[in-house]
Amino acid sequence: MPLIVDQIGRFSSSPLGQFRDLKPWELTAGSPQFIERLLGQLGDDYSVTAGIALHASAIVDPAAAIKGPAIIGPGCFVGAGALLRGGCWLEADCILGPGTELKSSFVFAGSRLAHFNFVGDSLLGSDVNLEAGAVIANHRNEWPDSAISFLYKEGRIDTGVGKFGAVVGDRVKIGANAVIAPGAILTPGTIVGRLSLVDQAPVDIV
């Protein structure tokens, strides 16, 4: 789907390419079942225990918590106090630093969540960097019983789901303590300044 492939260059050629017809929020909402499918397609260089696949070259700190299903790819590092839940996929050479929480999300090669980040129901492209404290929120607490909507290319997109974070394009840099509000598309190479708010909600519901 263009919302994904226009932002993440490796998507179609990656293992996630088999889900290319899904909308981003459909992929994140169904992440546990999709990752369960991917678990059956892994090579012998992964060990799988309780629905958690760990590549032989990945490092997970003993103080991290991973709730399956999850796939931790080659060269990845998961630091102390990190939490992965709700179905997560790390492609290769990704870093989840201390205190980072990743929920129902897919992260492509070389991306780094420095520490004390929250990323929910999102897709992150390659070589994305989140500085300390940056958040990609996934729920509109101020919209009771409302599905997430957002603006993209001057059009309104209604997701029909109550939880969705963002599609973050390749090489995006998000500064310390910045907040990406639920429902966002960040195009490749975007730089979000420290302490910034990115909110793509339609004007009529903010």
At 166, list the tokens: 């963002």
First to last CA, the chain: 27
Helical spans, DSSP H, in the chain:
2-5, 24-29, 31-39
Per-residue pLDDT at 143: 84
Instruction: Summarize pLDDT for 23-82 with one digit per residue, the tens.
Output: 999 999 999 999 999 999 999 999 999 999 999 999 999 999 999 999 999 999 999 999
Among this protein's residues, is 115 annotated catalytic? yes
Yes or no: say if 185 and 152 are a contact pair by the CB < 8 Å rule.
yes
Distance separating alpha carbons of residues 115 and 96, to the nearest angstrom: 7
Yes or no: say if 31 and 106 are a contact pair by the CB < 8 Å rule.
yes
Cα of 4 vs its chain's centroid, Å: 12
Domains observed in the chain: 2-205 (2.160.10.10)
Per-residue pLDDT at 1: 67
- Counting as low any pLDDT under 70, the low residues of the chain are 1, 205-206
Catalytic residue among 115, 140, 163, 171: 115
Per-residue pLDDT at 206: 57
User: Which helix (DSSP H) or strand (DSSP E) does residue 197 occupy?
Assistant: strand 197-198
